[in-house]
């Protein structure tokens, strides 16, 4: 399928679990979004002495800069290429925003994890949300950079290839899958992986396999980090067993975990 990625990049996505898309949305759109976010932060963008907390979480935003950033032509063609045309739901909002500030304090949310995709018995308890081998509800994990992010600016840490290990953990669990906490409790026993850092200029988007293991980290730089981490939601769920064999790269990555 036509899109921004060549065959080599698609192969790397299948093996590594993520792909970096530079200039996914314009820098001036990112700047407009930051201006809106600063208005909801209880601090002065020009006075670091007012940046009291290592991380402040902001909710969903439906303002035009956020909608525009999620629906550029290059992004939507990337969604088609990785997840399949007609299989995903457009985004009309952006969130949640964990805005990270330079700090010597621990952010308290920097543990390794896999994002869950559908509710469990208690939909109000995020830790009870679940993940299954068909990634019900979630086609991609996405990291939208609304500010420039260097190695010192708390870039998201990524365990390269970890999505393959998670697929093998989820396969025996069937439709019910595992809860967020059940998956998290098994991560320490997985094979060691090389790490990558989600750095880039404002307007960069990392498109990640929904099973990718990732984590935040403390901010040791000088400029606050603005990033959103929404899912690309599926209309249904992934297909990893069919007669057609016409699998998308996200589905092919799961099959690759089992040597198929």
The pLDDT tens digits of the residues spanning 59-84 come to 899 999 999 999 999 999 999 999 99
Those residues with Cβ within 8 angstroms of residue 133's Cβ, 6 or more apart along the chain or in another chain: 167, 170, 171, 173, 174, 177, 240, 254
Taking the CA of residue 166 as centre, how many other CA atoms within 13 Å lie in the half-sphere pointing to its CB?
Answer: 35
Confidence of residue 243 (pLDDT cuts 50, 70, 90): low
Q: State the residue for tokens 């969903």.
A: 60
> Domains of the chain, with CATH numbers?
7-256 (2.60.120.330)
Is the Cβ–Cβ distance between 183 and 128 less than 8 Å? Answer: no
DSSP codes joined into one string, 154-172: -PPEEETTHHHHHHHHHGG
pLDDT in the model for residue 242: 65
Q: What is the pTM (predicted TM-score) of this model?
A: 0.96
Task: Give CA–CA dist 173/156, Å, rounded.
Answer: 28
Q: At what angle do helices 73-83 and 7-16 cross, to 10 degrees?
A: 60
pLDDT in the model for residue 244: 64
For residues 172 and 242, which has the higher predicted lDDT (pLDDT)? 172
Which residue stretches of the chain are H helix?
7-16, 27-39, 64-70, 73-83, 162-170, 180-184, 249-256
């Amino acid at each position: 399928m036509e899109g921004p990625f060549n065959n080599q990049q698609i192969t790397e996505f299948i093996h590594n679990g993520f792909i970096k898309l530079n200039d996914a949305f314009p820098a001036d759109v990112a700047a407009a979004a930051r201006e809106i976010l600063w208005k909801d932060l209880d601090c002065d963008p020009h006075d670091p002495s007012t940046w009291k907390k290592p991380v402040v979480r902001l909710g969903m935003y439906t303002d035009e800069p956020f909608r525009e950033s999620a629906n550029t032509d290059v992004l939507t063609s990337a969604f088609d290429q990785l997840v399949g045309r007609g299989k995903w739901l457009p985004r009309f909002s952006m969130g949640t925003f964990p805005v990270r500030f330079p700090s010597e304090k621990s952010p308290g949310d920097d543990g390794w994890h896999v994002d869950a995709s559908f509710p469990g018995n208690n939909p109000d308890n995020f830790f009870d949300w679940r993940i299954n081998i068909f990634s019900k509800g979630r086609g991609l994990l996405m990291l939208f950079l609304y500010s420039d992010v260097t190695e010192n600016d708390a870039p998201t840490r990524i365990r390269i290839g970890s999505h393959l290990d998670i697929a093998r953990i989820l396969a025996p669990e069937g439709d019910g899958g595992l809860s967020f906490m059940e998956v998290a409790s098994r991560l320490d026993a997985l094979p060691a992986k090389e790490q990558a850092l989600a750095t880039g200029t404002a307007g960069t988007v990392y498109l990640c396999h929904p099973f990718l293991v990732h984590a935040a980290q403390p901010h040791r730089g000088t400029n606050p980090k603005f990033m959103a981490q929404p899912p690309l939601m599926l209309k249904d769920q992934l297909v990893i067993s069919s007669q057609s064999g016409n699998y998308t790269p996200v589905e092919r990555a799961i099959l690759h975990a089992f040597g198929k």
